[in-house]
Structure formats: structure tokens, C-alpha cells
Structure 1
């Protein structure tokens, strides 16, 4: 039995060394948890460099910001710093993201990251955000959460949970002592959220020019949806439509999609972007679909509106 444990330990160390090769552990902030129940390392956290990709799964958003769509295709949407953009919009769900960033005079775009998300469902609002941070410390929680404008304070220990008393049920769960939470609305969506900084190494490699005044703490997200319609839109929402054809040029190193005007929202909880589908209602009648509220590409919306098809 001891021999088996020794082999498992050596295997875990070998995998960790592969993950850390070519990069200093102290300079990186990503972490993964051992999920091998037959190993003594089970449930332990290990740091990995940013070179170990963490943005694999459909519905993932990370880095500058990189998206993996519902179709599995990876693309970038840079947006603009200090502005809000619609990530997902469906009749019963709307998710905006607030982008922070820095201007690079050598580029035509900003370096941007997702600092917060505002989620609207039914008559409720949920905010998850990364706090402004100068010097990063993994042991300090940099998350701020509010539900219907009321702050949610979770004890700083893994497993602490908020559970709403209303329907649909809202669950907010710490998945690590600090900076990791899971947010779920029953029969609608689940999002895993991690707050991460821009590390010194990342800044050096990409030319971000991050200083000690601000490490640009931001969110990395993994979204899962339970009940999207085929009307869904938004930067990543559109990729969940059955007839969606990706606009990203997948044969280039950094496939980028546009849509600044289409996805731009006036604030973190606004549903006024041209891509908005929130509040739309469809009624099947004689084989046709009717919309009780409608928004045109011009921005005109409401009952009795007629748009070009």
C-alpha cells in the first residue's frame, strides 16, 4: 500500500513539474485542485503558471478577454475600457460585463478585462465584482457580491453559502476560502467566478505596463446555461443559437469578433443594447411567432413596433 501511495505522490509531483516548467511558481497566480481521490494530494491546491491554459470549456471567459463560445470556438472580444457590454441576453436572462483596461498608444484598441458582471433575471439583480487592488495577496478576498442591491457577506471559508428564500432559488457558494465563488439560479444558469490579478510576468510578456498602484484584478468566468431559447444573443450568448455561424477567423493567432455598438449597454444593469432580448415573449399562433415587446436595431422598442426582418 505504501508503494502505491509513493507512486501516486511521484505522479502528482511529475504532473506539477510539467505544469510549472519554464516558469517560476512564485511569479504566477493560477491554481488548480487535485481531483484524484486515490491520491494523497486529493483536494489540495497547486499553483500553475498562466502558460497552463485554464480557459478550455464552452462558456469560459478569461484573460484579455478570451471567450470559448457555446459552439466550442475560441475568440476575443476586446470591447473598451470603462464601458459595459452584453454577454448574454435571452427573454428571461440578461448578463452584462463591465470592462476595465489600459490604453496602449501603439495599438488601436485597449487592453481590457472583465471586472464585474451584472445579472438580471425575473425582477432581480445580481452583481459579482472584483475590488480595485494594488498589491495582490491570495489570502485576501477581493470579491464583492450584491443581490437586489443588498450586499452579500459570506464567511471567509470554503463551503460558506447564501441561499435565497424566494423562487427561483439563488445559491452563492464559496468554492475556496477567498476569491472563488459559484453562483446558481435554479433552472436558469450557473457561473463559476474566480478573481485573479495581472501578474508581473503577464505584464512583461504582453506589455501591459501594470504598476504597483493597480494590478487590475478581474474575473475569470465559466458559464453554464440550463434553459436558453434560440433567441439568445450577446457576445457569448449568440454562440448558443443552433443556427449560429462563428464570425471569428479561426485560422489566425487571435480571432477577434466585433460588435461594439451592438453589444454596448448604458450601465451594468441596463438591457438597452441593440442585442437585448430580455423581456421578449413569444406566442405560437397559427404557426407564427408573435412578440409582445420588440426592440429594433435602431434602438426603438416596445409594443406595436414594426422592424424590418
Structure 2
């Protein structure tokens, strides 16, 4: 089980634990591969400039060439503490937050919303869970003062070219368990420096080390679905087995605001 928790503590693909703080307001590539790219946006401490903590408050998932997905910890103003929190969008459309079992299915994509959790599965590619941590206990000067996200990945398929702050740890050849974890930004674990993973926007794939994602130069020249699937599946390895979702369902589970 791979996770990013709190201010942010990573559990890597090989079980190694390390921190990656980054800088408040910056966006970093957490995972990038041929068909899948994920970015995370960081926020800082609201009331204490002396404390240097950061938290992840939004993640984007680009599933090329089909979907741009965002999961944000931010809730509409006035949302009661006991209500559903967070915001989910798919290709620019916002999923209803009041229907806690909402599900979408196209091209193997399934999204389930619960009160403070979002479950995303892309068939044969990814299975993850996002938790919206509500801000009730973070109103003091040492906290973010806003909701933030925890992320957990339980299964994925990746190529050997996979990269990103966490993505590189899913390579079959990745093994740094004998090296010391040196610093607050993954030193001793990740390739390069934190700034090498900065992108210009939530749906950008233009970081220094973002060279593998097929959609990094835009989505206008889409590859044929059959050719892309055949080409990439031959290169991929499974981290914990295939993620499960039924893309052939006839159910219309969409609910949009």
C-alpha cells in the first residue's frame, strides 16, 4: 500500500518512507507514465510564517486520451462539517457531492464518492483512494486552516519509464532501501531536486523530468485506442495486480451538478 499523508509523508512503491514538503502554492508531478499523469498542489501554514509545513489540497489525474480529473479538498463556502466535503470534476464537469455513492464509468473509469472519500479505478491501470481531511482541528496557527487530502494507491500497472516524486518508486529496478533518507524533499530517494518536478498548472506535464506522458504536448493528436492499448500493455508490469472495474456496464451512474 502506497500513501501520501498529512504534511506530506510518503510511503513509496517499495515500502520506503520519506517526506516531500515542496513549497506552498507550487504544483508537483507525483506520477507520470505513458497514459497516466498526476499532479499535486501544495498549501502551507495559514497563520504561522515560522512553521514550514505543507499539505496537499488538490490532485489532478490525466488519463490520456480520455479524461482530465481533479479531486480538491475545497468545499463550497458554508458547507456544514457533517456534510460531504471536497470537489470532484471530470472533463470540467462537477460531480454532485450530495449523492454519496455516485459512480462514473467510461473506458474503464469508475469514480465513487462518499462523505469524505473518493475512490478512483481505471481498469488495468490504477486503483486509488483519496481522503478529505476536514479543517476542524486545524484552525490554530500551526495548521493549514483548510481541508487537505490524503492519498492511497492500492494497485497499478506501470511501464519501466514511470517517473514523478512517487511514480519512480514503482519501477521494478527502483531500490534505495540501503540509502539514507536525507531531507525534507525526498533527498536520498528521488532523482534530482524538488523543483525538477514543478509544473505550470494542474493539467500540465511540463516539469523537467516529465518526458514520458503521451499527452504532454496536448491532446489534439489522439492515438487510436486499440493501437495505444496494444503498444503499452506489452511494456507494463503490475505492482499489485490489475485494478478491477467493469467498463461494459449499461448502468447510467452519472450525476452532474
TM over 0.5, shorter chain: yes
Does 1:273 pair with 2:207? yes
Q: Which residue of 2 aligns with 1:172?
A: 111
Q: Which residue of 1 aligns with 2:142?
A: 209
- 1:226 match: secondary structure: strand
Gaps of 5+ in 1: 1-57, 290-309
In 2: Cα distance, 1:236 partner to 1:224 partner: 13
Trace 1:116-195 onto structure 2 (pairs within 5 A): 116-123=58-65, 124-131=67-74, 138-157=81-100, 160-164=101-105, 166-167=106-107, 169-174=108-113, 176=114, 178-195=115-132
Give yes or no for contact 1:74–1:255 (8 Å, CA) kept in 2: no
Structure with max Cα Rg: 1
TM-score, normalised to structure 1's length? 0.60
272 and 136 in structure 1: CA distance in 2 versus 1, 3 angstrom threshold? same
Please list the CA deviations of residues 204-254 of structure 1 after superposition, one character each: whole Å capped at 9, or x if unmatched. Answer: 7xxx534xxx7220111101343201111101001111222438734x7x7
* Alignment size in residue pairs: 210
Give yes or no for contact 1:90–1:232 (8 Å, CA) kept in 2: yes
In 2: Cα distance, 1:242 partner to 1:154 partner: 38
Higher helix share: 1
Does 1:241 pair with 2:241? no
In 2: Cα distance, 1:225 partner to 1:128 partner: 19
RMSD: 3.0
Trace 1:1-309 onto structure 2 (pairs within 5 A): 58-102=1-45, 105-106=49-50, 110-123=52-65, 124-131=67-74, 138-157=81-100, 160-164=101-105, 166-167=106-107, 169-174=108-113, 176=114, 178-198=115-135, 200=137, 208-210=141-143, 215-246=145-176, 249-250=180-181, 256-258=185-187, 259-276=193-210, 277-279=212-214
TM-score, normalised to structure 2's length? 0.71
Gaps of 5+ in 2: 188-192, 216-227, 236-257
Ranked by relative contact order (alpha carbons within 8 Å, sequence separation 6 or more), the top structure is 2
Give yes or no for contact 2:9–2:17 (8 Å, CA) kept in 1: yes
